[in-house]
Amino acid sequence: MKNLGKNLLLVILLFGTMSMKANTNSEDSEIKRSVTILKYTHVKEGNKITIKDIYGVVLYDEAIQTDGKYIKGFDLTTLPKGNYTFELDKGLEIQV
């Protein structure tokens, strides 16, 4: 009788753990990502792309390597919610 109780408890625990599943939806568990596409048509080698937050802190800085078009996607979902600016520094001109 003692062994029967232990075996029954063991079977109940096994079925309980096998039948349990995480209470998460696949859409909820994935971080929803959106990509911001930055396009410029007339850039020159040496121009700089900068991403800044509202306090002026530089989060990303890149020098453009080729003349012509610049197209790049940025995933900003990991950043805290807020306002961010993209700046194109063309030497004498800065486009925000």
How do residues 4-28 score in pLDDT, each as one tens digit?
776 766 667 666 666 665 555 555 4
> What does the pLDDT read at residue 31?
57
93: pLDDT confidence band, cut at 50, 70 and 90? Answer: confident
Task: Count how many domains the chain has.
Answer: 1
Domain with residue 59: its CATH number is 2.60.40
CB 64 within 8 A of CB 49: yes
Place of tokens 């486009």: 95
How do residues 31-59 score in pLDDT, each as one tens digit?
566 788 888 888 888 899 999 988 989 99
29: pLDDT confidence band, cut at 50, 70 and 90? Answer: very low
**Domain extent for 26:** 2-95
